[in-house]
Amino acid sequence: MFVLLPPSETKALGGDGAPLDLDSLAFGELNPVRAKLADALAELAADVPASLRALGLSPRQEHEVEHNALLRDSPTLPALERYTGVLYDALDIGSFSKAARAKADRRLAVASALFGIASGTDRIPAYRLSGGSTLPAIGSLPALWRPALEPVLAGMDGLIVDLRSGAYANLARVPYAVTVRVVTENAAGVRKTVSHHNKAYKGKLAAVLATARTEPSTVEGLLRLVAKAGLHVERTDDYTIELLTD
Q: What is the pLDDT of residues 102-135, one digit of tens each?
A: 999 999 999 999 999 999 999 999 999 999 999 9
Q: What's the first-to-final CA gap in the chain, in angstroms?
A: 26
What is the per-residue pLDDT for 29? 97
- Residues 57 and 66: their CA atoms lie apart, in Å, by 13
Tens digits of residue pLDDT in 28-46:
999 999 999 999 999 999 9
Q: For residue 161, what are the contacts with CB-CB under 8 A and spacing of at least 6?
A: 1, 2, 3, 4, 177, 178, 180, 209, 222
Q: Closest Cα to residue 150, out of 122, 170, 179, 120?
A: 170
CB 145 within 8 A of CB 33: yes
How many domains are there within the chain? Answer: 1
Angle at 97 between CA 8 and CA 103, to 5 degrees: 65
- Residues 47 and 44: their CA atoms lie apart, in Å, by 6
What is the per-residue pLDDT for 153? 95
Identify each DSSP E strand in the chain by its residue range: 2-5, 77-78, 108-112, 116-119, 123-124, 134-135, 139-140, 160-162, 178-185, 191-193, 232-237, 240-244
What is the per-residue pLDDT for 211? 96
Which amino acid is located at 117 in the chain? I
- Residues 12 and 14: their CA atoms lie apart, in Å, by 7
Q: Closest Cα to residue 9, out of 74, 66, 88, 77?
A: 88
Structural domain boundaries enclosing 85 = 2-244
Which residues in the chain show pLDDT less than 70? none
Distances (CA, A) of 117 to 4, 48, 72, 112, 152: 8, 27, 18, 6, 10
What is the per-residue pLDDT for 197? 85
